[in-house]
Amino acid sequence: MELDAMVALLKWRDMSIAEVADCLNRTQEHVRRTYIDPFTQADLFRPTIPDRPADPRQTYHVNTRRNMEYAKNQ
């Protein structure tokens, strides 16, 4: 499942949308709309530069505590 792969990637290291898209063989737009935006809003993923969301150096990581809570409720 793509989501499981993405969570594993972001647990491994902080990654940009472009890096995640390359690893999943998806477009950046698909990764952004399907995963980054909704899971960032749900606080499951966190941007490394939260005050500058459009920064070209922006990467994301897993909010480990929030992901554990989410997994328990699934």
Residue 50 DSSP symbol: T
For residue range 3-47, list pLDDT tens digits in order.
888 889 999 999 999 999 999 999 999 999 999 999 999 999 999
- Is 72's pLDDT higher than 80? no
Into which CATH architecture does domain 2-72 fall?
A: Orthogonal Bundle (1.10)
**Which residue from 26, 24, 65 is spatially nearest to 44, judged by alpha carbons?**
65
φ/ψ of residue 23, rounded to 5: -65, -35
- Lookup: tokens for 65: 């505590």
Task: Quote the CA–CA distance of 57 and 52 in Å, as a whole number.
Answer: 10
Domain spans of the chain? 2-72
**pTM for this entry:** 0.82
